[in-house]
Every structure is written in C-alpha cells, then in structure tokens.
C-alpha cells in the first residue's frame, strides 16, 4: 500500500538529510506505529506519505514514494486526497470550517462527491466516531479529545485507504486517548484502512500495532518489523517493555495482559512471602535513594548527556531556602519521609505551607470551573494534578499563580494572595511553566531571554544563564528559542521561571511532545528541585510521569477534588490513572521500573 524505495529527504539549507535510505513496504490494512526519539525524521516520513513533503515543505526527495500505486512525485497532495487522510499534531490547525458537520463534509466537497453520498457518509462517520450530539457545535467549543475525533472523522469521510496520524493522543487524557485508539482499531479491523501513526506515548499504543517502523537515530535508516522484535532494540519503549527487558521475559510483552502472564515469577522474586513491601510509603523515593539514577527507564538514548542535575541546581538554588523567611528545612535524603498512613502527605517538620487553598471556587460566566477546592502543598512536596481534559487542572494552576482571581475562597502562596500581588513580586514566590513553553519566550536569542529574565526577577546578571547551562549544557547563547526542540524549549522556560527562585513551581502538561529521553531528564531536574525544598505542582495526563515523580496525586473531576492521597494509593486503585508497572504487578505496590529494578538488586 505504502512503498518507500531508497527515499532520502533533505530540506533546503540543512547539512544532513532529515530522512535517509528509507526502503520498506507497508502492507494494506495494517496499523503501523512509527517509533523513534525526537528529531529523527518521523514527521518528515509521515509528510512524505501524504505528499506534503516535498510539495508543500520544500526540500529534495530522492528515491520514490508510492501510495496505492500513485507516485508522490507526480501527484500533488491534493491529488492524493482521496487515498491518504492526514491528521497533524494540532487538530485546531487542521480545521477549515467552523462547525463539526461542515468540517466532516469539507474533504468530500473538495473531491466533488455527490450530495447524497456526502450526506450518507457524514451520518455514518458521526455514528462511527460518536459525534452525533456534537454535529451542530462550533469546533472551537469542543474538548481536545472531541476535536481529535472530529479531525480524524474529517479525513475519514472521503474513505481514504491510508490514514496518517502524527501524535494523535499526546494532548489527550487517558480516557480520551482510549476513545481515539478504539476508533483507529475499528477502522483497521472493520474497514481495512491502512494506518501509519507516530506517537511518543508508546504505553498507550504499542499493543495495538501490527508492525513497528523504527527510526533508531537521526540519519539511520528505518527498520520495519513485528512490534515485539522492534521493541527489543528500540531506544524508546514503554514501561511494560522496560520491565520485560529487565525481567528477561521472552517474547517481550507489549500489553499489560501479556505481561501479567509472566508476572507471577517476578512477583515471587520481588516479594518473598515473609516481607511484603510497605504499602503506604510512596515508593518513588526509594528509587531516589539510589542516587536518582533510573536504571533502565528512558535511558535508551546512548550517549545522552545526563543533566548535571541536582548537584549544580542545588548549589544554584540552594540559597533560596535560606533567603526565604519561612525556611524550608533542607530535606536530608528524601523530601518527604515515608509518613504514617493516616496522614501521609504531611511532612515531618511543621513548616509554612508553600501554597494553601481554602474552599476555592472559580466561575467563568455561569460555569463553575472549580468548586470547593481545599488544598495544602508543603515545601519539598510534588503533587500531580490529574483528571480529564477540562476538569479544571489548568484553572487551578492559574489561580495559584494569580492570573485567575478566585470567585470565592482563599488562595495563599508563600503568605501572599497571588492575584493581588504585583507580578514582579509574585515571580519570586511562584512560577508557572505553561502548556506551551513558547508563550514565555519573546526574545530572539537564548542569551537575550536570560538577560531579560534576570532583570525581570531582579537577580544579578548571569543567574539565569547559569541555570540554562545546568539544564541545557550545550545550547549556545545565540540560538533562537524557536530552533530548540520541544524538550529544550521546556528546559529553557523552566530556567526562566526558576530565575525568580520561586518556592512553588507549577507545570502544566510538561511532557506533551517529549520523548522518553527528554522526559527522563525532566524527571531528574524536577526531583532535584523537590529535594531542594521546592514545592512542585504538575498538571498532567501522563500517568507514568506522575508515578515517577509525584508524592501525592490529586484527581479532579468537574472542578472538584475526587481523590487526594499518596501516589501509590491513588493511582493503583484507578484503572485509568494506574501506570503500567502497577497494573502488571498488582496487587503489589510498585509504580515504576526503577523501583522494581532496585527491589531486584536488594533481593538477589
């Protein structure tokens, strides 16, 4: 169906090809997953299928790409529109019209299908994707998952033979992602559609793949093979694969179900009947005890320069705590010692909370976005906010940073009321890294950004640059922020926010678009900050991140807190928010591969 023959793509002005020696054939009716670290040319490969590379993006394509027998050299993207449906990373950038029903019909109108056919297919697609109640809604009012489904529906209506998707579930909460994946699977199974999909969150998709197309490193030719074999050599892999590799399972399990068949042996190795693991301690710290080194998780990218991490950061930021009147006690080994199950979140020493929220409600017009939120975050604590899209996570972060005033209730951050404190004062106490870190970047070089951050925060010149150097060792001053990769941009934004040495650090969806290596670095950095006494609140859909990092998980639904407790207790009991390792080793209390690895070392 899709055939690449010795394809190389070189963009204008680029020193090396973005994609080299791609030579493979994807058979019809299979779901192929495109896997690889950031920047290896995944988007280029996807674009080459739809003809957007090189017709739209420019650059030189050597070799030949044929889709259903049509050569993309002689067929422009619009002439492939009846064969290939493409959905990009951002569904909003995909929409041409403003109403769901029109959007579904748009592609068919362009192809000139008969009105009766269009009408029937729109109705079928509305049913297939469960969009019927939304048919008259303006697209801008839909949630992320709904928008993603509309985007998929809009390319399905012309009945393409090939569907190309670039990270269809990255921006979605676990439930919405399941929804989208179920639709894709149905397309493959029932309609015989060929699907080619790139995705960073492999834990969500790898078990659905029939084939995996692996781009191991920049400039390396792609490899095609069955998922289990590809995962054995892939530098990026989900926790289930990491666990399988660790335990030496063969064949490598890809789904929770497969892994659970192997798990009894591991369970017995892990927990001799006499000594069950302590259930209430939040085990994320036990892994930290071993020098913060995650043995296998996300360390695949060979030669990846490790962040100089906690050490340097601690030195850079260490003064914060002493400068701050209610000094947080420097936590010696772990920020929160494993506490009694009755009140596991309270730190041992009575300290002033980093943030205190009482009975908070926020209204937008008539909608109550948040209702009756009461919450305390102590220094050194990492809290993960989870919940579906639109549950109020971002709004809660905004009230903590003061950009959204509370309608009723009290918010106190480091003794101040955020929305009444002038911004220059506020950034020394609380910092927020927004969902899109680009929002924080105005200048055209990294150096200028750093200088601006220093003067904004009133810190001596060079403070921010030192932080950037710690987080991004090899980025020169004159780089344009837009030329950085997603992970680097996030690190830069983090450095800018940290320049003010805020006691409370907020992150909104930090792992969106990050590959496993970048995520592992982020985890190291945040652990270092937490160890330093920073309180961290992160809103995330990424259950694996929460499992690695958070001491405590709050689940929001409809603007209310529905669960609040230590990570291990909250996530293990939830089918949607449990990380893979917890699902595999249930009823054990392991959350991450790192913990399992350490436990295995202890019990040889």
Partner 1 sequence: MTPGPEDRPGGAGPAERTAAAAGRPTRASSRTDGHPARPAVGRATRGPADGLATPAGPGSASAGNAPRRPAYEKHTAPEARRGNALHAGAWWLWALGLATAASRTTNPLLLGLIVGVAGYVVAARRTDAPWARSYGAFIKLGLVVIGLRLVFSALLGSPVPGAHTVLTLPELPLPDWAQGIRLGGRVSAEQLVFAFYDGAKLASLLICVGAANALANPARLLKSLPAALYEAGVAVIVAMTFAPNMVADVMRLRTARRLRGRPTGGVKAILQIGLPVLEGALERSVAVAASMDARGYGRTARVPAAVRHTTNALTLGGLLGMCAGTYGLLAAEGAAYGLPVLGIGLALALAGLRLGGRRSIRTRYRPDRWGARAWLVSGSGAAVAALMIYAGTVDPEALLPGVVPLVVPGLPLWPAAAILIGLLPAFVAPVPPKEASQ
493, 433 in Cβ contact below 8 A?
yes
Judged by CB under 8 A, does residue 401 bind partner 1? yes
Shortest Cβ distance from residue 86 to partner 1 (Å)?
5
Shortest Cβ distance from residue 112 to partner 1 (Å)?
4
Closest to partner 1 by CB, 133 or 477: 133
* Interface map 154-193 toward partner 1 (x if CB under 8 A): xx--x-----------------------------------
Judged by CB under 8 A, does residue 405 bind partner 1? no
* Interface map 498-517 toward partner 1 (x if CB under 8 A): --x-----------------
Spatial separation of the C-alpha atoms in residues 556 and 510, rounded to whole Å: 18
Spatial separation of the C-alpha atoms in residues 137 and 178, rounded to whole Å: 23
Q: Which of 32, 44, 211, 398 binds partner 1 (CB under 8 A)?
A: 398
Judged by CB under 8 A, does residue 112 bind partner 1? yes
Q: What Cα–Cα distance (Å) separates residue 282 from each residue in 339, 579, 582, 597?
A: 9, 14, 13, 16
Q: Which of 1, 202, 432, 536 binds partner 1 (CB under 8 A)?
A: 432
Q: Which of 403, 417, 479, 485 binds partner 1 (CB under 8 A)?
A: 403
Count of all residues that appear for the chain in the document = 604
Give 248's contacts (C-beta < 8 A, 6+ positions apart): none
Closest Cα to residue 172, out of 195, 150, 155, 156? 150
492, 464 in Cβ contact below 8 A?
no
Closest to partner 1 by CB, 52 or 597: 52
- List phi, psi (to 5°) of 601: -65, -40
- Using the CB atoms, write b or e for 399-412: b if 16+ within 10 Å: bbbbebebeebebb
Spatial separation of the C-alpha atoms in residues 289 and 309, rounded to whole Å: 15
440-459 residues in contact with partner 1 (CB under 8 A) are 440-442, 452-453, 456-457
Judged by CB under 8 A, does residue 107 bind partner 1? yes
Pick the piece of the chain touching partner 1 (CB under 8 A) from 275-283, 373-381, 494-502, 524-532: 494-502
70-99 residues in contact with partner 1 (CB under 8 A) are 76-82, 84-86, 88, 90, 92-99
* Interface map 357-376 toward partner 1 (x if CB under 8 A): --------------------
Q: Which of 50, 207, 320, 540 binds partner 1 (CB under 8 A)?
A: 50
Closest Cα to residue 212, out of 194, 232, 231? 231
* Interface map 228-267 toward partner 1 (x if CB under 8 A): ----------------------------------------
Which residues, in sequence order, are bridge partners of residue 538? Answer: 384, 507
Give the max Cα distance, the chain.
Answer: 73
- List phi, psi (to 5°) of 275: -120, 85
* Interface map 116-145 toward partner 1 (x if CB under 8 A): --xx--x------------xx-x-x-----
């Amino acid at each position: 169906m899709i055939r690449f023959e010795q394809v190389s793509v070189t963009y204008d002005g680029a020193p090396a090809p973005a994609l080299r020696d791609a030579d493979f054939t994807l058979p019809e009716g299979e779901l192929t997953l495109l896997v690889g670290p950031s920047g290896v040319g995944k988007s280029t490969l996807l674009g080459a299928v739809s003809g957007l590379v090189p017709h739209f993006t420019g650059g030189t394509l050597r070799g030949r790409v044929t889709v259903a027998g049509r050569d993309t050299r002689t067929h422009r993207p619009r002439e492939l529109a009846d064969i290939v449906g493409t959905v990009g990373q951002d569904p909003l950038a995909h929409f041409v019209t403003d109403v769901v029903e029109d959007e579904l019909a748009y592609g068919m109108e362009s192809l000139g299908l008969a009105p009766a056919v269009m009408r029937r297919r729109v109705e079928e697609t509305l049913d297939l994707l469960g969009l019927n109640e939304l048919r008259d809604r303006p697209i801008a009012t839909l949630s992320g998952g709904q928008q993603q489904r509309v985007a998929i529906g809009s390319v399905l209506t012309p009945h393409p033979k090939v569907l190309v998707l670039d990270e269809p579930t990255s921006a979605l909460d676990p439930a919405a992602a399941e929804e989208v994946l179920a639709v894709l699977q149905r397309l493959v199974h029932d309609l015989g559609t060929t699907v080619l999909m790139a995705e960073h969150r492999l834990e969500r998709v790898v078990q659905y793949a029939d084939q995996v197309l692996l781009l191991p490193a920049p400039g390396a030719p792609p490899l095609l093979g069955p998922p289990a074999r590809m995962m054995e050599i892939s530098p990026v892999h989900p926790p289930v694969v990491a666990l399988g590799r660790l335990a030496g399972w063969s064949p490598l399990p890809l789904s929770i179900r497969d892994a659970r068949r192997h798990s009894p042996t591991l369970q017995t190795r892990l927990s001799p009947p006499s000594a069950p693991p302590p259930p209430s301690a939040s085990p994320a710290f036990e892994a930290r005890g071993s020098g913060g080194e995650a043995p296998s998780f996300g360390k695949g990218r060979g030669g990846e320069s490790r962040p100089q991490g906690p050490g340097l950061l601690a030195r850079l930021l260490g003064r914060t705590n002493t400068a701050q009147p209610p000094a947080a006690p420097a936590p010696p080994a772990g920020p929160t010692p494993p506490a009694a199950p009755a009140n596991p979140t309270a730190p041992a020493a009575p300290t002033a909370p980093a943030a205190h929220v009482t009975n908070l409600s926020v209204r937008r017009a008539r909608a109550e976005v948040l209702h009756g939120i009461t919450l305390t975050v102590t220094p050194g604590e990492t809290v993960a906010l989870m919940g579906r899209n639109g549950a109020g996570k971002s709004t809660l972060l905004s009230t903590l940073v003061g950009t959204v005033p509370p309608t009723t209730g009290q918010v106190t951050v480091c003794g101040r009321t955020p929305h009444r404190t002038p911004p220059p004062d506020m950034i020394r106490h609380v910092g927020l890294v927004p969902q899109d870190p680009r929002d924080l970047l105005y200048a055209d070089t990294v150096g200028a950004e750093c200088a601006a951050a220093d003067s904004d925060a009133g810190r001596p010149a060079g403070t921010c640059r030192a932080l950037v150097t710690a987080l991004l060792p090899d980025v020169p001053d004159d780089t344009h922020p837009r030329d950085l990769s997603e992970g680097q941009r996030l690190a830069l934004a983090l450095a800018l926010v940290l320049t003010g040495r805020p006691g409370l650090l907020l992150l909104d969806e930090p792992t969106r678009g990050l590959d496993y290596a970048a995520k592992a670095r982020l985890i190291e950095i945040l652990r270092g900050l937490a160890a330093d006494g920073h309180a961290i609140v992160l809103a995330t859909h990424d259950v694996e991140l929460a499992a690695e990092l958070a001491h405590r998980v709050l689940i929001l639904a409809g603007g209310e807190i529905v669960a609040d407790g230590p990570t291990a207790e909250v996530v293990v009991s939830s089918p949607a928010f449990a990380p893979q390792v917890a699902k595999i080793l249930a009823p054990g209390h392991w959350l991450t591969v790192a913990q399992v690895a350490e436990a295995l070392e202890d019990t040889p």
